[in-house]
Chains A and B, each alone.
Chain A
Amino acid sequence: MSFDVPDDLRYLESHEWTTTDADTVRIGITDFAQDELGDVVFVELPAVGDEIAAEEAFGVVESIKAVSDLYAPLSGEVTAVNETLFDQPELVNDDPFGDGWMLEIAPSDESELDELLSASAYREQIA
Chain B
Amino acid sequence: MAQRHPPLAELHADCGASTTPFGGWEMPVTFESIRTEHTAVRESAGIFDVSHMSEIEVTGPDSTTLTNRLTTNDVAALSPGEAQYSCITREDGVMLDDTVVYRLDDHEGYPAYLVVPNAGHDAQFTDRWQTHRNKWALDATVENTTDQWAMFAVQGPNSPELLAAATDETVTELGRFEHTPSEIEGVSCIVARTGYTGEDGFEILCPTADAEAVWAAFDCQPCGLGARDTLRIEMGFLLSGQDFDPDDQPRTPYEAGVGFTVDLETDFVGRDALADQHETGPDQQFVGITMLDRGVPREGYPIVDSDGEQIGELTSGTMSPTLNEGVGLGYLDTAHTATGHPVEIVVRGNPKQAEVTELPFVSK
Contact = CB atoms under 8 A, between A and B. Distances in A.
Contacts of B135: none
B321 interface: yes
A1 B348 CA distance: 34
A62 B348 contact: no
User: What 6 A-B pairs come out closest when comparing CB atoms?
Assistant: A41-B319, A39-B35, A64-B34, A62-B296, A42-B296, A65-B226
Most buried by A among B35, B230, B321, B348: B35
A65 B298 contact: no
Contact of A64 (B295, B319, B348): B319
A48 interface: no
11 contacts: A38-B30, A38-B33, A39-B33, A39-B34, A39-B321, A42-B294, A62-B319, A64-B319, A65-B34, A65-B318, A67-B298
Given A39-B33, A65-B226, 6 more contacts: A41-B319, A42-B296, A63-B34, A64-B35, A64-B230, A67-B298
Nearest to B30: A38
Interface string B47-76: 000000000000000000000000000000
Interface string B217-231: 000000000100110
Q: Is the interface of A mostly helix, strand, loop or mixed?
A: strand
Contacts, number: 34
Contact of B294 (A64, A65, A86): A86
Interface residues of A, number: 11
Nearest to B229: A65
B41 interface: no
A38 B321 CA distance: 13
Contacts of B298: 67
Nearest to B36: A39
Contacts of B294: 42, 86
Contacts of B29: 65
A63 B30 CA distance: 13
A102 to B, nearest CB: 16
A107 to B, nearest CB: 27
Contacts of B34: 38-39, 63-65
A79 B177 CA distance: 59
A126 interface: no
Contacts of B33: 38-39
Interface string B332-364: 000000000000000010000000000000000
Contacts of B230: 64
B149 to A, nearest CB: 28
A78 to B, nearest CB: 19
Interface in A22-55: 38-39, 41-42
A60 interface: yes
Contacts of B30: 38
Given A64-B34, A64-B35, A67-B298, A42 B226 contact: no
A65 B319 CA distance: 9
Contacts of A39: 33-35, 321
A46 to B, nearest CB: 14
Nearest to B321: A64
A32 to B, nearest CB: 13
Contacts of A67: 296, 298
